[in-house]
């Protein structure tokens, strides 16, 4: 009697890279996405996650996504401004007054415009999860007024807007990759940094800093990109499932940030002196040169789009 092998479905294996430790909510989002996508495609799509910069720096991962070596990348939106300079507007200081406003803008027509710009570079923007609002830590003292920032050796990412802001405040901006920052703080190469609460916790910066000031000076969206050719090679059914799961994963990650922030601050308070009596109006005024430089270099069209969407009911 002839034996017939049971046909097996071809499995698609995808690589997902991001810079944060496995304790971070970005990694939790990646795990949620990978698990749900695998389950809803009956195991036909398998996603392997590479956290903590295992596949390189943000810039190297971006090159990997564009070339197709990496299928998904999570990175701060500032890392994509070399391709789409307008993306830098989203991290201008005090652009968004609160999370709800940021979500309304990012998930609406402005986000759609940004998605179209990235498709020109063969990348599909799956969504804009968040780092959250950035706050300053340092080893000198509480930050309440702009003058308290003067003279700090402030680590900055590659956001031109934030670098311009800290320069206007009298700090000395030092650009470093996030995975180099702990050692730089530990050895005194820099003595201050700014990140949202989840990142300050997951990267353990509280071990090498003394003060956390809730300046909330900029909202940090995360760009979630996928190689567009990889997406187009999927079946229509799998494309629809992937987009559905991606949208759910963004909501999941944002909710983790909102619901967990109070507990994260409580944990950080064990090692850091935390203050929230920040003169936000003074910081906003002092940060105006960052807006002026962005407009000088890129025009005001994207800023106008954001502000119009932010003010809509």
The share of the chain scoring above pLDDT 90, in percent, equals: 96
Rounded distance, CA 205 to CA 26, Å?
17
Rounded distance, CA 36 to CA 33, Å?
5
Nearest to 163 by CA among 216, 94, 91: 91
Report whether pLDDT(1) > 60.
no
**99-108 pLDDT per residue, tens:** 999 999 999 9
Does residue 92 fall inside a structural domain? yes
Report whether pLDDT(6) > 70.
no
Nearest to 15 by CA among 59, 57, 74: 74
Does residue 302 fall inside a structural domain? yes
Computed from CA positions of residues 267, 270, 273, 277, in that sequence, does the dihedral angle turn out positive or negative?
positive
Does residue 5 fall inside a structural domain? no
The share of the chain scoring above pLDDT 70, in percent, equals: 96
What mean pLDDT comes out for the span 57-70?
97
Rounded distance, CA 10 to CA 15, Å?
17
pLDDT at residue 8 in the model: 46
Alpha-carbon dihedral of residues 188, 194, 195, 200, nearest 10 degrees? Answer: 40
Report whether pLDDT(9) > 80.
no
**206-222 pLDDT per residue, tens:** 999 999 999 999 999 99
How many domains does the chain fold into?
1
Does residue 126 fall inside a structural domain? yes
**273-290 pLDDT per residue, tens:** 999 999 999 999 999 999
pLDDT at residue 4 in the model: 41
Mean pLDDT across the chain: 95
pLDDT at residue 5 in the model: 41
Please report how many Cα atoms fall inside a 13 Å half-sphere around the Cα of residue 216, on the Cβ side: 14
The parent domain of residue 110 ranges over 12-311
Number of Cβ within a 10 Å radius of residue 135: 24
What mean pLDDT comes out for the span 197-207?
97
Q: Give the ranges where 68-195 is alpha helix by DSSP (H).
A: 99-106, 109-119, 160-168, 178-187
Does residue 3 fall inside a structural domain? no
Does residue 56 fall inside a structural domain? yes
- CATH code assigned at 146: 3.40.190.170
Nearest 5°: phi and psi at 47?
-115, 125
Report whether pLDDT(149) > 80.
yes
Rounded distance, CA 35 to CA 46, Å?
8
């Amino acid at each position: 009697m002839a034996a017939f092998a049971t046909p097996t479905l071809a499995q698609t294996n995808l690589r997902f890279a991001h810079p944060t430790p496995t304790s971070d909510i970005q990694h939790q989002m990646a795990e949620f996405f990978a698990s749900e996508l695998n389950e809803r495609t009956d195991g036909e799509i398998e996603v392997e996650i590479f956290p903590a910069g295992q596949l390189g720096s943000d810039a190297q991962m971006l090159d990997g996504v564009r070339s197709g070596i990496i299928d998904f990348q999570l990175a701060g939106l500032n890392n994509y401004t070399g391709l789409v300079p307008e993306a830098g507007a989203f991290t201008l200081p005090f652009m968004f007054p609160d999370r709800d406003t940021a979500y309304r803008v990012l998930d609406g027509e402005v986000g759609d415009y940004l998605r179209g710009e990235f498709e020109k570079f063969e990348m599909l923007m799956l969504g804009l999860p968040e780092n959250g609002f950035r706050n300053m830590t340092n080893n000198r003292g509480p930050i309440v007024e702009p003058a308290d920032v003067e003279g700090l050796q402030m680590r900055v990412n590659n956001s031109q807007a934030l670098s311009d802001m800290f320069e206007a405040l009298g700090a000395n901006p030092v650009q470093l990759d996030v995975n180099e920052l702990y050692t730089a703080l530990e050895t005194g190469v820099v003595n201050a940094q700014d990140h949202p609460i989840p990142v300050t916790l997951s990267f353990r910066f509280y071990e090498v800093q003394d003060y956390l000031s809730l300046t909330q000076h900029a909202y940090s969206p995360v760009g979630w990109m996928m190689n567009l050719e990889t997406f187009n090679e999927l079946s229509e059914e799998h494309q629809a499932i992937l987009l559905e799961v991606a949208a759910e994963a963004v909501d999941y990650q944002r909710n983790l940030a909102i619901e967990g922030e109070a507990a994260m601050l409580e944990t950080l308070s064990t090692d850091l002196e935390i203050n929230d009596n920040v003169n936000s109006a003074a910081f906003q005024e002092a940060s105006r040169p960052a807006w002026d430089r962005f407009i000088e270099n890129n025009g005001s069209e994207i800023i106008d789009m954001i502000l119009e969407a932010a003010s809509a009911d």
